[in-house]
Structure 1
Amino acid sequence: MAAMQHHILPWHLFLSLIFVSIIKVQTEMNFSNFSVGPEYAPLFTIVREPNKNYFYVGGRNIVLHLDSNLNLISTFKRGPEPSDGASCLSEADCSQQSLQPNDYKVLVISERKDKLLACGTANQGECTLHTLNDISDYVRVTGEGAGYLVGSRKSAKVIVSRMSDAIVDEFFYVFHQYDERNITLAPPVISLRILKNEKTDFVMKFAYEDQASKMYSLLDILPGFKSTFLMSFVKAFVSGNFVYTVTNQQKSVSLSNLVRPIIGRMCYLKDLVFQSYVENELRCKHGDILYNKATSVFVDQEENVLYLTAVRTESGSSSSDKSEGTVLCKTSITTINHFLKHALLYCYGPTGSTADARRLDWNRQETLCIGNEIEKQEIETGNQCGPFSSNAGVRGLFEVPMDFVEMFEKKQVVLLNAKEGNLTLGDESGKLMRYVGSQGWRKYVDFQLSEFPIQPDTEADLEDNLFVLAGDQVWKVPTSCSLHQDCDSCQGKNDPLNCGWCRTRNQCTQINECPEKYYWSDNECPPVIKRIFPESGPSEGGTSLDVQSPMFTGALDEDKLRVYIGGNECSRIDLKRFNFSCKTPAGIGGQPIVIEMDDTSTSAARQYEVKGQSEFHTFFQYKDFKVSTFEPTRGPESGGTVITIQGENLDIGRNISITVAGMVCALEGKRNPNNLTCVTKAYSPRDERRRRALSRARGDGSVQVTIDSVVRSSGADRFLYFPTPHIKRIFPARSIL
């Protein structure tokens, strides 16, 4: 952090405006990355400003404002805060509590007010409104009771009405999972709110409240079940004339250990009191095995398809069982609406159906449907929005079938994006995968994006790049051909986008994106070096160098593959799959490594030809090494003396050996540039006359270090081997305690 500023809110909460540096990280795919720091992890949610490439990211105690190049524009920080406990609301009430994180899990853009609504978990989940171009400029959202509280320590989702809707007020659909707070401060699980500017304050309240008729813009779990009934929110979205929510729920109030993914639906802006609400179970199976807990949902609005990833739960628990893996299923919104409509028809039938539908047992004391022929006819003719007086909240008792898409064994996977038959997924290990489907689904991209689990919340910019959250990081991931960062992955993955390599841009593109079509090819690549080892060696040369490339797939004549260092050829030693080894020529300083290839063969492992010349991004470093001093300078002839050798560039090259007075000294530990450590072996004299000539020493000689056949010695400084001392007797043999 380069700077920090403070000011005091009207309600005496300290907020900080901080400036955070972008940390660019190189990964296997070299994508742009913004890292905010582990103290703000994890990042929970991301939202894009409509029709613009600006993004807002919610994390632990922080909200970020980024552009599409992941440059930081502004930052808002609040937290950690005194714990709310179960019931305290204001800062004064909570001042004696321990600190807790303030997790920003809800961010939505208010187009009508040109503001960002940010809801954390502090103060029972209250919100602030921020200026879009500088989120450090904010006001508090106030209200009465629980009607203005949004954030949950478990799960919460919000949908805001669109700018294009022909309405005066701006409406917010709020979905809130109960998080064990005092019931009097707990928002309803489903509610419709409005946000009004009253004088100098922004006030949030329920959209409709009529005490006389007891009709309100909310649906809630009955007080007797609220603390125990599971209803966690996975996704909320608008499609057509309806708002949908996907939750993980108990199958019924009496079956706490049977969790099911539930699709709920309500009419968008035409039903302020949720009389049209209806829900059904989603059935996602692999073979005969039911995967009963949703982990992510993505809706392809163009194809009108809902995708869902699901896991199994542990026996008798709502906790996920990772060992059972993850299943990806899909169904159309049309299919969902078909089943939801039939649930309404069954419930409003002449006598009400007990087998196929009931009223919500988590919301009603009496769950038997009440038949109403007039309202049933309304539903049959297309009016599914009411007003309905009879049942107001219906649960279909049959399952909405989903099609199986893919199975991911022994890991948890979330779906990030689905578009034009392409699926992008992430897993708990930080891997990103892409699948294409027609008759069946085929994986064509699989790489390590981050060391942290991939979060399900993503956004896309106007160019369809994905912005992915993992730990404290935001990643920008292309969905076009530029997803492939080298020619091998561009041509070797059978990408459905018909990608090829554009030599003039040195980039994977479609043919129409390459300035000169002649230099675009979907069956030819320039050679590429992925890695070399070692990266340095003695100036005299002679280092055995490994050059690694996915383009080395088999035998190839010497004139078809050559490697040059500083313009001089590195003489071939061996060629194996993915590895070419050669002996370095002599050189001075850093020298470029150039590979030249002419390989017209193809195979299943490499389905393209390799032609041309390219340079490795790192120079090979020629260095002169030397031995300066060593200590100790003497030791027993039995060996075991630990010698430390001082010098320069002692870490270069591939192979190293050390001798002391002609005897091997075993290298110990890792090499570093300025010193080595070795352990002497037992001395074995080769010249008895020299041994008898020595007054006390049994042998002597210089210390020599050999790196890749190049030798350096200690010169005149010599190590002496002396007779190994032996203990004959101890005196005195005893002592006083």
Structure 2
Amino acid sequence: MNGVLLTSIFVTAIDEVTVAHLGTSEGRILQVVLQRSSSYTITLANFSLGERLPVLREVSRLGDSLLFVTGNKVSQVSIKGPGCRHFLTCFRCLRVERFMQCGWCGNSCTRREECDASWNQESCSPVLTDFHPRNATLHGNTRVTLCGMSFQSRPRFPAIIDSPVTSGTHRVTVGWRNCTVLPEESLDKWPNPVPHWKEFVDVLVCGLEPKGEQEVLVPTNVVLTITEEIRNPPFYINGSSSCLGFVFVVPTVTSIHPPYGPQAGGTKVSIQGENLLAGSSRKVLINSLACPLIR
């Protein structure tokens, strides 16, 4: 809240949570959770009272509402906050304090009475937004990195010995092939430290099985399926998400230049062909000897 001038404060206990409603010099109300020890402030809501005038110091409570004054205007605000629609993702929606009565309704965060479809406070589905690389060879151990949201209910992958990510909870398929989830490599891909506002940077790494039937040069789906244990508080991840566009290819060498070199080595060899950059890693062998790649 750097650069924000506070002009009023009203603190109250709601259920087991201490909540402060902070008025600002620009006519806004910040609803925040107060904690004894924390490196950041949990802001539940930040909304305008309609006028860019300072919120006066005097605040009154009327039942389940708070009365704020800006200029000659009195605004009545629910003590539970202005609503839930400003929480744009299921992950953010279900992590808010329960007194706000927010739940996920289709593709938006609402209160139960505002939802005409299925409404829940228990689970979110994963959202797969992208993956890399876009292709791989039929044979090999290509590492596929998945990006998206709500890959797990905890803020980040914890220590591997306590990791909730296992073959039983997280499953990835690429076309007809399984892709084994790698928790340690997934952890290495995360920003460190993970920002508290993280909800758009979930990363998961898996290793493609090198064997199995698969069509070549046909775009196929990458599918992430997550089934967390229901007891994970305050909610759990359950469901599937997919992205189309992964292609299996066959690398083909069409020419090598020069076609010879001294036994002592040191010759730079240029290899041309098709699909030579497929997958996540490459290795060149000449007569079973490694030929380091020059980038």
TM-score normalised by structure 1 residue count: 0.25
Kindly state the Cα deviation for residue 491 of structure 1 after the two structures are TM-superposed: 2.3
Larger radius of gyration: 1
Q: Deviations over 1:84-122 (max 9, x none)?
A: xxxxxxxxxxxxxxxxxxxxxxxxxxxxxxxxxxxxxxx
**Separation in structure 1 between the aligned mates of residue 256 and residue 138 of structure 2, nearest angstrom:** 23
Q: Give the alignment partner of residue 491 of structure 1, picking from 69, 90, 94.
A: 94
What residue identity is the alignment partner of 1:329? L
Equivalent residue, structure 1, for 2:225? 596
Q: Give the alignment partner of residue 437 of structure 1, picking from 12, 32, 45.
A: 32
Kindly state the Cα deviation for residue 596 of structure 1 after the two structures are TM-superposed: 2.2
Equivalent residue, structure 2, for 1:564? 173
Kindly state the Cα deviation for residue 540 of structure 1 after the two structures are TM-superposed: 4.5
Equivalent residue, structure 1, for 2:276? 650
Equivalent residue, structure 1, for 2:5? 329
What residue identity is the alignment partner of 1:442? T
Q: Secondary structure at the match of 2:248?
A: strand
Equivalent residue, structure 1, for 2:196? none
**Separation in structure 2 between the aligned mates of residue 649 and residue 418 of structure 1, nearest angstrom:** 59
Equivalent residue, structure 1, for 2:128? 529
**Separation in structure 1 between the aligned mates of residue 234 and residue 220 of structure 2, nearest angstrom:** 32
**Separation in structure 1 between the aligned mates of residue 110 and residue 273 of structure 2, nearest angstrom:** 50
Equivalent residue, structure 1, for 2:144? 545
1:581 equivalent in alignment to 2:206 = yes
Equivalent residue, structure 2, for 1:36? none
**Separation in structure 2 between the aligned mates of residue 443 and residue 666 of structure 1, nearest angstrom:** 51
Q: Deviations over 1:572-625 (max 9, x none)?
A: 35345663524245423211122222212555xx73112222223x43222222
Q: Give the alignment partner of residue 612 of structure 1, picking from 219, 231, 239.
A: 239
With a CA cutoff of 8 Å and minimum separation of 6, indicate the structure with the bigger relative contact order.
Answer: 2
**Separation in structure 1 between the aligned mates of residue 164 and residue 122 of structure 2, nearest angstrom:** 20
Q: Cα distance 1:635–1:528, how it changes in 2: closer, same or farther (>3 A)?
A: same
**Separation in structure 1 between the aligned mates of residue 164 and residue 228 of structure 2, nearest angstrom:** 10
Number of residues of Structure 1 aligned to a counterpart in Structure 2: 211
Unaligned runs of 5+ residues in structure 1 are 1-308, 310-325, 333-404, 406-414, 423-435, 446-457, 459-478, 670-737
The answer to whether the 8 A contact 2:179-2:207 is kept is: yes
Kindly state the Cα deviation for residue 418 of structure 1 after the two structures are TM-superposed: 5.8
Equivalent residue, structure 1, for 2:12? none
Kindly state the Cα deviation for residue 497 of structure 1 after the two structures are TM-superposed: 5.6
Q: Cα distance 1:664–1:480, how it changes in 2: closer, same or farther (>3 A)?
A: farther
**Separation in structure 2 between the aligned mates of residue 509 and residue 649 of structure 1, nearest angstrom:** 48
Percent of paired sites with the same residue = 21
Kindly state the Cα deviation for residue 417 of structure 1 after the two structures are TM-superposed: 7.3
Kindly state the Cα deviation for residue 652 of structure 1 after the two structures are TM-superposed: 1.4
What residue identity is the alignment partner of 2:119? W
Kindly state the Cα deviation for residue 331 of structure 1 after the two structures are TM-superposed: 2.1
Q: Cα distance 1:635–1:492, how it changes in 2: closer, same or farther (>3 A)?
A: farther
What residue identity is the alignment partner of 2:178? C
What residue identity is the alignment partner of 2:115? C
Unaligned runs of 5+ residues in structure 2 are 9-21, 45-51, 53-81, 158-162, 188-202
The answer to whether the 8 A contact 2:166-2:181 is kept is: no
What pairs up with 1:686-701 in 2 under 5 angstroms? none
The answer to whether the 8 A contact 1:502-1:508 is kept is: yes
The answer to whether the 8 A contact 1:444-1:493 is kept is: no
The answer to whether the 8 A contact 1:574-1:581 is kept is: yes
What residue identity is the alignment partner of 1:551? F
Q: Secondary structure at the match of 1:501?
A: strand
Q: Cα distance 1:640–1:490, how it changes in 2: closer, same or farther (>3 A)?
A: farther
Kindly state the Cα deviation for residue 521 of structure 1 after the two structures are TM-superposed: 1.5
**Separation in structure 1 between the aligned mates of residue 83 and residue 206 of structure 2, nearest angstrom:** 36
**Separation in structure 2 between the aligned mates of residue 634 and residue 417 of structure 1, nearest angstrom:** 76
